[in-house]
Amino acid sequence: MHENMKQDRWKLDAHVAVSATVDLRILETTDLHVHLHPYDYYADCPNPDLGLSRLAELIDIARQQSPNCLLFDNGDFLQGTPVGDYFAYDMGLKDGDLHPVMEAMNALRYDALTLGNHEFNYGLDFLLKTLMRSDSPVVSANILRAKAAQPEGDQHLTRPYCLLRREVVDRSGQRHPLCIGVIGVAPPQITIWERQILNGRVQTRDMVDAVRAFVPQLREAGADLVVLLAHSGIGPIRHTENMENAIIPLAAIDGVDVVLSGHSHQVFPSRSFADIPGIDIARGTVCGKPTVMSGFFGSHLGVIDLKLIRDAGRWQILSSGVETRSLRDAALHFTPPEAPKRNIPLNSPKVRKIVERAHHAVLSTIRQPIGQSKRAINSFFVYLGESAATALVAAAQQDFVEKHLSRSDLASIPILSAVSPSKAGGLAGPRNYTNIDAGVLTWRSLADLYIYPNRIAAIRVTGADIRLWLERAASAYHQLRPGREAQPLMDPSYPGYNFEIIYGLDYEIDLTQPARFTHLGELRDPEHWRIRNLRLRGQPLAAEQAVILCTNSFRAHGAGGFHGTGPDSVVFENDSVTREILRDYVVSQVNLDIPARAPFRFRPVANAQAILSTSVAAHAHLNMIAQFRPQVLGADAHGFMQVQVSL
């Protein structure tokens, strides 16, 4: 029901026992990252497995199947493809302009949105201009303009929560008022990750503290049901201050009924979260609360079905069901012919028209040539130490920083360059690899090389920091046993964007040792080290040796929790976006010829063979890893090519 309904419709007589059963469906999108059209802009080809315009079809179907539906977005909708960069950097937004992602969301009639950390990548002014045209309430309880002693006194960037007053239909066809409280939160690390661009204009509060403070207010204001939009992943069980992935302690808060999660680009319910205390993947609950996380890039639609019962004027959740519907399996979700369809308007045709306009404008931009490369540039074998993609980014970063520090008092300190692959398979699937042919390089090529709008930065660290930095990256690998065949090489839970390679060094990785850190960066085994023979310019790198490490503003200020990072370590920052630095570097080269070899190698593991998962497109480039005697075993159920390599 809309806000203009008469207030007396909401005054229920608590003395009269009324029984009713209502089926309520809650739909979630999350981490869209401006994937509006079913298109891979980095490969410059269609991809039907992603995109909001395709997901809109599933939303239409889900609405037809249920008499009462709510649709929410869980953040990170504004940045992530060349579409986002085009409207931020090339077009810009004037006051009153309508961003295509907001136009598409308005067409889909979202009930509420929350903010993710990537909403801030283009600056606060750009974000606020985008949000001005939202037809849906935008909620965030822990992103602030000014922080007070207690959450209740905070000045919020958007409203902390909203009340949605709706009229729902029960199973007998009777109508009832239902008040849904919606509250949103995002990782408080935003102020660290985007410190350079936000300039202190935004503050944050711990997510759990904010939700605990405002849920009682929602209840007092009349909320029958509280839905939490948490742009946060499923992480540690215990709450610690300002934790990034806080879904478990958030779900444990009294008064929260339903949890929508995201941020970590995973799917819940799924086997990835089996055997974690408090999580039931069969029922799709966290701490007993129905919870969903619907992937990324518009790959999945999250669906929570609630059976509500009202007795004596009070609503309770009688039962729940949770699922995610993937675009890859979209045919499974269409309403069977014999099932009745509700007569509701379809929004997907409107969305298709909106996103097609933006799509065609962006294509003409990303296809502009900017240079030449003698060799193919890809990330198929980055985990084996063969990747011209990371080598090129490292070279461009180091060239830029060296020129700016050449006349400073830091000029005598050795300069290294740290890079992680922008695209290296993993949870994003078998298409998620940089793959640029030799020959002409375009703007699309640069977007494929570096997908983030990060700015260049450099930090001063020690040799001890560097070793721990590399140990964290080496956690991407499984421990390998001598004499065993067909051992999986990679830990699939490790995010590729944390697989840092440091160029300018020479080092070995000993995979017979257990990982020192977990995939989340927590210390697992302090007795073991995988990094061996760490050398700088042919000499062992001393623990006290000072070095300048080129990286990006996101990492330099502490994202990922790598050793030696943080504002106090930053010695150089510049407003130049890394992709602009790449462009200038490519333009300055007559014909690029970047060696693919990374600075690390593996210590031999006697009679051991490992299985590398990579793209099927890597088949044409197996000569790059001839030293590993690769044998192609075929594709797995997820579409990754399995390659057996000898170590």
Quick one: how far is CA 64 from the chain centroid? 30
Q: pLDDT above 90 covers what percent of the chain? A: 76
Question: Both tokens of residue 193?
Answer: 């990750």
The answer to whether 458 touches 548, Cβ cutoff 8 Å, is: yes
Contact 385, 93 (CB under 8 A): no
3-state helix, strand, coil in the chain (%, to 5): 30, 30, 45
Residue type, 562: F
β-bridge mates for residue 155, sequence order: 146
Q: What is the mean pLDDT of residues 293-297?
A: 96
Q: H/E element holding 580? A: helix 578-588
**Three-state SS annotation for 47-64:** CCCCCHHHHHHHHHHHHH
Which H/E stretch holds residue 78? none
H/E stretch holding 575? strand 570-577
Distance CA 109, CA 90 (A): 28
Q: Is the pLDDT of residue 70 over 80?
A: yes
Q: Which helix (H) or strand (E) holds 226?
A: strand 225-230
What digits encode the pLDDT tens for the residues 356-393?
Answer: 999 998 998 888 899 999 999 999 999 999 999 999 99
Q: Distance between CA 4 and CA 270 in Å, rounded?
A: 41
Ranking 5-14, 354-363, 385-394, 488-497 by mean pLDDT, the lowest is 5-14
How many Cβ atoms sit within 10 Å of the Cβ of residue 590? 7
Classify 250 as helix, strand or coil. Answer: helix
Q: Which amino acid, one-letter code, is at 289? A: K
Question: Residue 36: its pLDDT value, please?
Answer: 96
* pLDDT for position 2: 39
Hey, what are 240's tokens?
A: 């610690």
What is the H or E stretch that residue 219 is in? helix 207-220
SS (H, E, C) 374-432: CCCEECCEHHHCECHHHHHHHHHHHHHHHHHHCCCCCCCCCEEEEECCCCECHHHCCCC
Tokens of 536: 């700088």
Report residue 55's pLDDT band, with 50, 70 and 90 as the boundaries.
very high
Overall average pLDDT of the 85-110 stretch: 93
Sequence-distant (≥ 6) Cβ neighbours of residue 261 within 8 angstroms: 30, 74, 230, 231, 232, 233, 234, 247, 268, 291, 292, 293
The per-residue pLDDT for range 497-546, each reduced to its tens digit, is: 899 999 999 999 999 999 999 887 889 888 999 999 999 999 999 999 99
* φ, ψ of residue 592 in degrees (nearest 5): -60, 140
Q: State the maximum Cα–Cα separation within the chain, in Å, rounded to a whole number.
A: 84
Q: Which of 511, 472, 466, 456 shows the shortest CA–CA distance to 488?
A: 511
Rounded CA separation 202/206 (Å):
14
Cβ atoms of residues 629 and 645 within 8 Å: yes
Contact 73, 36 (CB under 8 A): no
pLDDT of 345 strictly over 80: no
How many other C-beta atoms lie within 10 A of the C-beta of residue 189? 20
Confidence class for position 634, pLDDT limits 50, 70, 90: very high
For the segment 42-62, the average pLDDT, to the nearest whole number, is 93
d(CA 444, CA 370): 10
Domains 7-362 and 368-603 share a fold: no
**Taking the mean position of all CA atoms in its chain, how far away is CA 167?**
34
Distance CA 389, CA 311 (A): 61
Question: Looking at domain 368-603, which CATH architecture does it have?
Answer: Alpha-Beta Complex (3.90)
> Which amino acid, residue 474?
A
pLDDT exceeds cutoff 90 at 591: no
CATH code linked to domain 7-362: 3.60.21.10
Instruction: Give 558 or 504, the one with higher predicted confidence.
Output: 504
**How many angstroms separate the CA atoms of 37 and 50, rounded?**
8
Helix (H/G/I), strand (E/B), else coil: 122: coil
- For residue 24, what pLDDT is reported? 98
- Region 69-84 average pLDDT: 95
Q: What is the mean pLDDT of residues 481-488?
A: 91
Question: How much of the chain exceeds pLDDT 70, in percent?
Answer: 95
Report d(CA 158, CA 144) in Å as an integer: 8
- Position 334 scores a pLDDT of 56
Structure tokens at 15: 């003395």
- Note whether 209 and 151 are within 8 A (CB): yes
| Three-class SS state of 223 | coil
**What is the model's pLDDT at position 3?**
40
User: Where does the pLDDT of residue 332 fall: very low under 50, low under 70, confident under 90, or very high at 90 and above?
Assistant: low
Per-residue tokens: 606: 């006697």
DSSP symbols for 170-215:
BTTS-EEEEEEEEEEE--TTHHHHTHHHHTTS-EE--HHHHHHHHH
DSSP secondary structure string, 602-639? EPP-TT-EEEEEE-GGGGGGGGGGGGG--EEEEE-TTS
pLDDT category of residue 12 using cuts at 50, 70 and 90? very low
Place of tokens 């050793």: 563
The region, left, alpha or beta by phi > 0 then psi within -120 to 50, assigned to residue 156 is: beta
Of 585 and 341, more confident: 585
Does 612 score more than 50 pLDDT? Answer: yes
Smallest CA-to-CA distance from 160 within 140, 143, 187 is with: 140
- Poorest-pLDDT segment among 233-247, 475-489, 583-597: 583-597
Mean pLDDT of 394-407: 95
> 340: pLDDT confidence band, cut at 50, 70 and 90?
very low
Domain boundaries, the chain: 7-362, 368-603
* Lowest model confidence (mean pLDDT) among 3-17, 311-325, 572-586, 631-645: 3-17
Q: What value does the mean pLDDT take over residues 404-431?
A: 92
- Average pLDDT over all residues of the chain: 91
User: For residue 492, what pLDDT is reported?
Assistant: 81
**The token pair that represents 225 in the structure block:** 């049901």
